[in-house]
Structure 1
Amino acid sequence: MKEYLCLATFTYPHEYFVVKLKFEEAGIRHFFQNETLIGLLPLSSVAFGGIRLMVHPADLTIAKEIIDSLNDKSSHLRIV
């Protein structure tokens, strides 16, 4: 897991749900660091640095493309 890179940070679980589905659909190796902890203690998100999207370096390029496509203003799946 040391080789995984932080691609994005989210404050609450609902903010990354679409990203998680898109990554699983594309077969991108990833995990969300602090996901369970912040799910249990949502007000502590800032104290723990948020929920970090960790992506394997081999999948980084396609992961960035997916996030960029979701941040496009014309996308109906735009992330927060």
Structure 2
Amino acid sequence: MNHFITAATFSYPHEITILKHLLVKAGLSFYFENETMATVVPLYSHALGGIKLKVHPNDLSTVKDILEQLNTNTHLKIV
């Protein structure tokens, strides 16, 4: 996981719930950095730089496509 890169950053845990499901469904390798801390102490999210979606570089284009589809083709927008 040392070679994983940041694909997107979010402020609050509720923003990643549906995205997490879509990434698992696509079979991608990923993790959310700072997710637990932002859940326990929500105001720390900004101090830590947000919740960072970390993905393998080979999966970056697929993740970007998923993020774009989620933002354009649905009523569930990522803020």
Q: TM over 0.5: same fold?
A: yes
Under TM normalisation by the shorter chain, which class is it?
over 0.9
Task: Find runs of 4+ consecutive structure 1 residues off by over 3 angstroms.
Answer: none
* 1:43 to partner: Cα distance: 1.0
What does residue 3 of structure 2 align with? 3
* 1:78 to partner: Cα distance: 2.4
Structure 1: where are the runs of 5+ without partners? none
Letter aligned with residue 2 of structure 2:
K
What does residue 75 of structure 2 align with? 76
What do residues 10-64 of structure 1 show as CA deviations (whole Å, max 9, x unaligned)? 1110011111000000001000001111111101111110100001111111111
Structure 2: where are the runs of 5+ without partners? none
Aligned-residue CA RMSD in angstroms?
Answer: 1.0
Letter aligned with residue 76 of structure 1:
H
TM-score, normalization by structure 2 = 0.93
Structure 2 Cα separation of the partners of residues 10 and 79 of structure 1? 8
Matches within 5 A, 1:1-80: 1-72=1-72, 74-80=73-79
Indicate conservation of the 8 Å contact 1:18/1:79, yes or no: no
Structure 1 Cα separation of the partners of residues 15 and 47 of structure 2? 18
Structure 1 Cα separation of the partners of residues 77 and 48 of structure 2? 25
TM-score, normalization by structure 1 = 0.92
